[in-house]
Amino acid sequence: MQKDKGATTKAPLHVLIIGGGVGGLCLAQGLKQSGISVAVYERDRSVHFRSQGYRIHINPDGSQALHDCLPENLFNLFVATSGLPATGRLANYDSQLRELDSRPLHQVVADSPFTLSTEVNRLTLREVLLAGLDDIVHFGKTLERFEHVGAGVVRASFADGASAEGDVLIGADGTHSVTRQLLLPEARVSEVGFALYGKTPLTPEAMEWIPENVLKGFSRVADPSGVAMLDYGFAAVKNSIEQPLLGFRTLGEAHRPH
Ligand SMILES: Cc1cc2nc3c(=O)[nH]c(=O)nc-3n(C[C@H](O)[C@H](O)[C@H](O)COP(=O)(O)OP(=O)(O)OC[C@H]3O[C@@H](n4cnc5c(N)ncnc54)[C@H](O)[C@@H]3O)c2cc1C
């Protein structure tokens, strides 16, 4: 791999971002918009290398950040591919799907078109974030270590033997960040319990027994032991033929809806 710093002619600052997930790509878009030289190094071999999950909630701060970082056409694409608004209630069910209680969902009202609270398909969002970054994102680059190599220069070394140099190195490599482990080896990830996720195809048979609110609102289904499943029926993505159900399974209080 060529050293990216040498190729930088327009901007004095060259930023290396480790990890091409939601955070790393959004930051790369923002830096590019600001005219700052940036390169992203992503462990995955390609955007389609692994499933990215299927939905992620974007709150108003997230929407605002996307608006600030993305060019207008990509922000509009994010909005166009985001989820439908919830029209149901916040409801509790027993394990036989009998409704125990319900109340109106707290609706986050956007105070501008840029502060949506919405659901998006993770892969679609990643594709939106990757648009226009062909020369910036380098797939198949797993960070192994970094070191300072002279006045203000940091060198990142990858598992395939390649390296890249820049002025700033940013770790956007997720929960088990290698960057963090190298920089802060004493830091520990706080476990918050376990959760299982899944989605259920909405076949005609399933539609016969799934309560309407499970499709349109936010529902918690719990058995007497406290094992619970939360579902976000409103996570449907516009123009999608699939309306996924999302389940959390947990024994902890932390996941109970407020
Ligand atoms: C099931 C589930 C549901 C969630 N739902 C929500 C939600 O609704 N809303 C929300 O805000 N958050 C949600 N989260 C959390 C959300 O996924 C994270 O907050 C978000 O993905 C963090 O983005 P990130 O860019 O920091 O890291 P990630 O999206 O994890 O991206 C990190 C990237 O770094 C790459 N990488 C890792 N190690 C290396 C390395 N050594 N070298 C190079 N690249 C590397 C990875 O391949 C990955 O592409 C959810 C998480 C899970 C597991």
Q: Which atom of ligand 1 has the smallest separation from the CA of 19?
A: 34
Banded pLDDT at 218 (limits 50, 70, 90):
confident
What own/partner pairs with CB < 8 Å and gap ≥ 24 does 236-240 have? 236/83, 236/84, 236/119, 237/55, 237/81, 237/82, 237/83, 237/84, 237/119, 237/120, 237/121, 237/124, 238/80, 238/81, 238/82, 238/83, 238/84, 239/81, 240/121
Distance 189 CA to ligand 1 centre (A): 14
Model pLDDT for residues 67-101, shown as the tens digit of each residue? 999 999 999 999 888 876 667 788 888 888 899 99
Q: Where do the domains of the chain lie?
A: 4-54+121-183, 87-113+192-255
Is the shortest distance between the CB of 91 and ligand 1 below 6 Å?
A: no
CATH class for the domain made up of 4-54+121-183: alpha beta
Check whether 26 has a pLDDT greater than 70. Answer: yes
Ranking 21-35, 61-75, 95-109, 124-138 by mean pLDDT, the lowest is: 95-109
Amino acid at 202: L
Is the shortest distance between the CB of 197 and ligand 1 below 6 Å?
A: yes
Is the shortest distance between the CB of 43 and ligand 1 below 6 Å?
A: yes
Check whether 46 has a pLDDT greater than 70. Answer: yes
What pLDDT score does 8 carry? 46
Check whether 154 has a pLDDT greater than 90. Answer: yes
158-185 as b/e, with b when 16 or more CB fall inside 10 Å? beeeebbbbbebbbbbbeebbbeeeeee
Is the shortest distance between the CB of 83 and ligand 1 below 6 Å?
A: no
- Residue identifier of the C-alpha nearest atom 4 of ligand 1: 56
